[in-house]
Amino acid sequence: MAGNKIKILSTRLLNSELLQKAGLQDMDVEANAFIKIIPDVSQETDAFIQSLALQPATVIFTSINAVNVVTSRLTIAAPPWKIFSIGGATKNALLYFFDASSIIADAKNAILLSEKIIAYGEIKEVVFFCGNRRMNHLPERLGTANIKVNELLVYRTIETPVITTMEYEGILFFSPSAADSFFSTNTIPVHTVLFSIGESTTAAIQSYCGNKVITSQWPAESNMLEMVADYFK
C-alpha cells in the first residue's frame, strides 16, 4: 500500500514479532493494555487443583489467562485430564504443558465448545477454570444438557482505561472487558473500523457505538492482524 502507514490501536499488548509483521504490511500498530489480569487462587482453590491433578477429570479452558494460572500451580507432570478448549492462543498455551491427545476438542467460541462437549456423549460433570467476568453461554448451555459445571475462579480482570488522543483507522478488541474499558474513557469517529476477536466481544462493542465491526473467524492475535491487513489492502 502506498503512502503513510495505517494507524491501528490494539487494546492488548502484542509481541514484537507480530508488531514487526504488521509494520511490513503498512500498519503502524500502537498497543496498550486496557485490562489487567490478576491471578486469584485461594488456598481452598489451590488445594482443589492439586487434588484434581491426581485423578481423571474433564476440564474446560476458555482463556489463555486461566491456562497460565492453572498450569503455574500444577506441581506434577500433565494430569490425566480430558480437556475442552477454545482454539487459538488458549489451545496453544495448553500444548506447552499437555500432550495434544489430552485435548479432546477445541472450538472458536464458548457456544460451539459447549456443543462439542455435549456431543461427546459421556460427560456428566466438568470443571470450568474461569475468571470473574466469564460469559454465561457455556455453563448455561451445559446445564440444559444436565452436565454439572463446577466453576473454579482462578483470575480476575481489572479495567485499566487509557485515554487516547490519536485518531485511528482501526482498533482491535480481544475481549468484552477491553471494550468496556476502552469506551469508558474514549469516543471514536464514525469512520474508524473496529476488529473483534469473537461474537461476545462484538456484542460488547456494538453496545457502545454503531461503527463497522469485523469479527474474526478464529480467536488468535495473528488472525486479527491478518484480517486488518486484508481489509485495508
- Of 38, 63, 30, nearest in space to 162 by CA: 30
- Of 44, 12, 35, 36, nearest in space to 153 by CA: 44
DSSP string for residues in 161-184: -----S--SEEEE-SHHHHHHHHT
Amino acid letter for position 223: N
pTM of the model: 0.89
CB 84 within 8 A of CB 59: yes
Number of H helices and E strands in the chain, helices first, is 9, 11
Q: Which residues pair with 159 in a beta bridge?
A: 35
DSSP string for residues in 53-68: TTS-EEEEE--HHHHH
Cell 479452558 sits on residue:
61
What is the bridge-based pairing of β-strands 103-107 and 35-39?
unpaired
How confident is the prediction along the chain (233 residues), in pLDDT tens digits per residue? Answer: 445 889 999 999 998 998 898 888 889 999 999 999 999 999 999 999 999 999 999 999 999 999 999 999 998 788 999 999 999 889 999 999 999 999 999 999 999 999 999 999 989 999 999 999 988 989 999 999 999 999 999 999 999 999 999 999 999 999 999 999 999 999 999 999 999 999 999 999 999 999 999 999 888 888 899 999 999 98
Helix spans in 184-220 (H):
199-206
CA angle, 86 then 90 then 93, to 5°: 145
Domains belonging to the chain, first-starting first, are 6-34+160-231 (3.40.50.10090), 38-157 (3.40.50.10090)
Helix (H, G, I), strand (E, B) or coil at 150: strand
Beta-carbon count within 10 A of 70 CB: 25
Give the CA radius of gyration of the chain: 19
